[in-house]
């Protein structure tokens, strides 16, 4: 492991005005997205869609890296370049999702533990050879009566830390993603309590597994009201609660926090990030690693037609620019005026 290289890569992933595009939908998830626009999900349609992001001119101004799925890392875009090559050519770091999904946690009604540790070292070594420079593993926690359980908290934290240590050993920066789901009628206070518990355990396990904090990133949920909670916290409340919990549990040695959007609307995800960056000084970069919040308008504009690629790219670049501005707290509602081509 080259410690210096890991730290340099981690810092590049949260460079000023930049964030990460999460395009690592597994085959089942991308099928759901394509179903929503009536497009068949095939290997060809998946790369046809995703290459609109990889080839969007100027994306590198606000996108530092892209999280890919195994299939995509091995595919080529229409001009024949491999996906890692096409990204490298414009200075965007290729990354790879290495977990194999959230699976039922025995004895814990409906809860999951994320799997994928078997053979992880060998897969990471191959991914590095294929050009990946960072990785991602997502753990999922749901809030319900008596949940998350201690078993769910401890099993997922342990797996995240084992994963992070192996990734670093293979020269890959680990993005550690403990996601407390927003689905449910719970309050923002419940989200705050559960997130603080889950993230504290994650950092405890990262310590036990000797993970180099300077060479990793955290990808958490924001502290937010449950999606069906009658009282929805304001943008300011979300920003303050999220930074408050991060301050309690995330060591300043971690270079950056790259939030997931988790089902928030694209604009709300930008507003929340912007409000956090307006709060004043914090020891880590506060950035984004959005999937749906960066892709949703582009997916709708693309609609399965290659001819719509320019419109999809314009929609994507617009969201990337808005989130880039949110990195410095300089995003404004006026920026949402529809860009040309959308």
Catalytic residues: 177, 219
Smaller CB distance to ligand 5MM: residue 186 or 319?
Answer: 319
Q: What DSSP assignment string belongs to 223-260?
A: ----TT-SSPPPHHHHHHHHHHHHHHHS-TTS-EEEE-
Strands 173-180 and 134-141, sheet pairing: parallel
Smaller CB distance to ligand 5MM: residue 22 or 246?
Answer: 22
Beta carbons of 200 and 249 less than 8 angstroms apart: yes
For binding to ligand 5MM (CB under 6 A), which residues are involved?
A: 22, 24-26, 29, 67, 101, 138, 260-262, 290-293
Rounded-to-integer distance, Cα 303 and Cα 45, Å: 11
Smaller CB distance to ligand 5MM: residue 227 or 310?
Answer: 227
Smaller CB distance to ligand 5MM: residue 65 or 255?
Answer: 65
Smaller CB distance to ligand 5MM: residue 67 or 314?
Answer: 67
Q: Which residues is 4 bridged to in the sheet?
A: none
Instruction: State which residue has the least CB distance to ligand 5MM.
Output: 291
Tokens standing for 281? 């000084």
To the nearest whole angstrom, how small is the minimum distance from the Cβ of residue 318 to ligand 5MM? 17
Strands (E), 119-216: 134-141, 173-180
192's enclosing H/E stretch is helix 188-208
To the nearest whole angstrom, how small is the minimum distance from the Cβ of residue 324 to ligand 5MM? 16
To the nearest whole angstrom, how small is the minimum distance from the Cβ of residue 22 to ligand 5MM? 3
Beta carbons of 187 and 231 less than 8 angstroms apart: yes
- Burial class of 119 by CB neighbour count within 10 A (0 to 12, 13 to 18, 19+): exposed
Q: Which long-range contacts (CB under 8 A, 24 or more apart) does 207-210 make?
A: 208/161, 209/161, 209/162, 209/164, 209/165, 210/165
């Amino acid at each position: 492991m080259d410690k210096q290289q890991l730290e340099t890569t981690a810092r590049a992933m949260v460079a000023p005005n930049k964030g990460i595009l999460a395009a690592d939908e597994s085959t089942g998830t991308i099928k759901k997205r394509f179903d929503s626009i009536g497009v068949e999900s095939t290997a060809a349609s998946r790369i046809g869609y995703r290459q609109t992001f990889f080839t969007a001119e100027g994306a590198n101004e606000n996108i530092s890296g892209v999280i890919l799925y195994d299939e995509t890392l091995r595919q080529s875009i229409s001009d024949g370049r491999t996906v890692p090559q096409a990204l490298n050519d414009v200075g965007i770091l290729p990354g790879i999702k290495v977990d194999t999904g959230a699976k039922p946690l025995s004895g814990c009604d409906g809860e999951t533990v994320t799997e994928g540790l078997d053979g992880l070292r060998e897969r990471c070594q191959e991914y590095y050879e294929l050009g990946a420079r960072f990785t991602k593993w997502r753990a999922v926690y749901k809030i319900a009566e008596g949940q998350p359980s201690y078993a769910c908290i401890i099993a997922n934290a342990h797996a995240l830390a084992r994963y992070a240590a192996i990734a670093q050993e293979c020269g890959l920066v680990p993005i550690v993603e403990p996601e407390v789901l927003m689905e449910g009628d719970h309050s923002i206070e419940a989200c705050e309590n559960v997130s603080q518990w889950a993230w504290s355990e994650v950092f405890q396990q990262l310590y036990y597994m000797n993970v180099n904090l300077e060479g990793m990133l955290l990808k958490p949920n924001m502290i937010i009201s449950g999606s069906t909670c009658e009282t929805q916290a304001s943008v300011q409340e979300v920003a303050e609660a999220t930074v408050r919990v991060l301050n309690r549990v995330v060591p300043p040695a971690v270079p950056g926090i790259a939030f997931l959007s988790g089902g928030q609307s694209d604009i709300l995800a930008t507003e929340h990030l912007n409000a956090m960056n307006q709060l004043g000084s914090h020891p880590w970069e506060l950035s984004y690693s959005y999937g749906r919040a960066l892709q949703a308008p582009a997916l709708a504009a693309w609609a399965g037609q290659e001819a719509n690629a320019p419109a999809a790219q314009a929609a994507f670049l617009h969201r990337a620019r808005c989130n880039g501005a949110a990195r410095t707290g300089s995003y404004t509602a006026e920026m949402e005026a529809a860009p040309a081509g959308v």
